[in-house]
Amino acid sequence: MSTQAQRHRFIVVANRLPCQRAADAWRSSPGGLVSALSPVAQRHGGAWVGWSGVADDETEPEQQSDMALIPVRLSADEVESHYEGFANSTIWPLYHDHVVAPQFKRSWWEAHQRVNRRFAEEVAASAAPDALVWVHDYQLQLVPGLVRSMRSDVRLGYFSHIPFPPVELFAQLPWRTEVLSGILGADVIGFQRQADVENFIAACTRILGVDPREDGTIVGAYPVSVDSEHIGTLAKSAVRDGAPSRIRSELGDPETVLLGIDRLDHTKGILERLLAVEELFDDGTLDPATTRFVQIAVPSREAIPAYRQLRADVERTVGRINGKFGGLGGASIHYLHREYPFDDVVKWYLTADVLLATSLRDGMNLVAKEYVAARRGRGGVLVLSEFAGAADELTEALIVNPHDRDALKDAIAEAVATEAASAHSRIEAMATTVADHSLCRWATRFLDDLEAAVHETPGALPRLSALQ
């Protein structure tokens, strides 16, 4: 596909386009990355290079209101070997502490290199002189190095939305040298947490014998956030409309509503959470007649066997718990295997007395930040995994080790018993943190560092912040 006719000064590169083709229209794609970045790309104009989410899709580039969409085509074989294989069955589990065993397959690596090269060629063809190029996430780690070899003029940023693992785990990757060299093509390399920065530097030092900061590369923590103003507006209108009390009454007016909202992924700790709630019902700490646990599990990566197995395990567990504790008045666990539009997600946040964001490992966990933003002025309790990036900032949450069943049970019980005044003040403190470290500030910080990075023709490009 040819995009050379139009050159862009700001290019976001991500595995997925911010929209998917559904019948004859585009619709928003799921995922934290997309929800984090589309407003930024829209505000600054420019282009978004990504996959449409459909194999063999021949869709042509399209100019949307503020942003050009530049699709990168993936064949059905490449979806299997690059996306489901290398990205989500090798890197994803390896970077999330072996939450399932990563698989190392040479044919997947071949496809992964081919697809990353295709992305890089699209960027090289679409970037205006001195453009800013911001590459996102683990599916595209080779892209910075490849673009750098094709276009020495552009400034390149790379941001990882997921954790970077300890060197002892990373070193297992047979293609560790190539992956590190790919990332090191960027001028600014960002991670969610300081711990990820340290892991990355340790990997570069141990495996490549270099500390990238010594040649001027910026490597830093840029914790991603949410648009709390927008969430606040949605929350106000949902409350005005009476949605939370309506949903509560549909749930049978329980005393307590617990909520989990996650992609159906091993990293999210859904099974561990269900087992903790089951034991709390078993030992009488929670009353199944007056408690409702709503678990929204957004379908994800369903062609991958490990994800299908997880779904079967979760659904069997929900069935067992409801079989044991459900009454005529309804089930204690409401399991919803579907995706909701974001304004409905906010209604769920407003209904939930307690949010369980108890991932086994998570780059950030934007759901936790969305919850506190929606609950501002309304109270509510956040139970948050210490292994989610958000735990660095949301220190007033009930922070828990989700691998420790007793600790998880204690945290859930404490959350249910929390006094309203304490819940209010904790939510207020966390909502202030989220509002002060907004999505917009995250993007601005990263882009400011990128604009300042090693560029030889300052002034060639107006500051992006000035383009708003």
From 227, 334, 362, 437, the catalytic residue: 362
Closest listed residue to residue 47, CA positions, set 27, 63, 30? 63
Minimum distance from CB of 258 to ligand G6P (Å)? 23
Question: Is 136 noted as a catalytic residue in this protein?
Answer: no
Selected binder of ligand G6P within 13, 19, 20, 32 (CB under 6 A): 32
Does the footprint of ligand G6P cover residue 162 (CB under 6 A)? yes
Please, which residue, 161 or 369, has the CB nearer to ligand G6P?
Answer: 161
Q: Does 355 bind ligand G6P (CB under 6 A)?
A: no
Among 78, 137, 187, 362, binds ligand G6P (CB under 6 A): 137
| Catalytic (active site) residue 98 | no
Return the residue nearest ligand G6P (CB atom). 31
Of 30-38, 146-154, 185-193, 429-437, the segment contacting ligand G6P by CB under 6 A is: 30-38
Binder of ligand G6P out of 11, 17, 19, 33 (CB under 6 A): 33
Minimum CB separation of residue 267 from ligand G6P in Å reads 9
Q: How far is the CB of 16 from ligand G6P (least distance, A)?
A: 5
Does residue 31 bind ligand G6P (CB under 6 A)? Answer: yes
Stretch that binds ligand G6P, among 29-37, 106-114, 148-156, 330-338 (CB under 6 A): 29-37
Residue number, 31 or 93, with CB nearest to ligand G6P: 31
Q: Binding to ligand G6P (CB under 6 A): which residues in 256-315? A: 300-301
Smallest gap from Cβ 84 to ligand G6P, in A, equals 9
Of 96, 112, 161, 334, which one is the catalytic site residue?
A: 161
Least separation in angstroms between CB 132 and ligand G6P:
20
Q: Please, what is the minimum distance in Å from the beta carbon of residue 137 to ligand G6P?
A: 4
Enumerate the active-site residues. Answer: 161, 362
Binding site for ligand G6P (CB under 6 A): 15-16, 31-33, 137, 161-162, 300-301
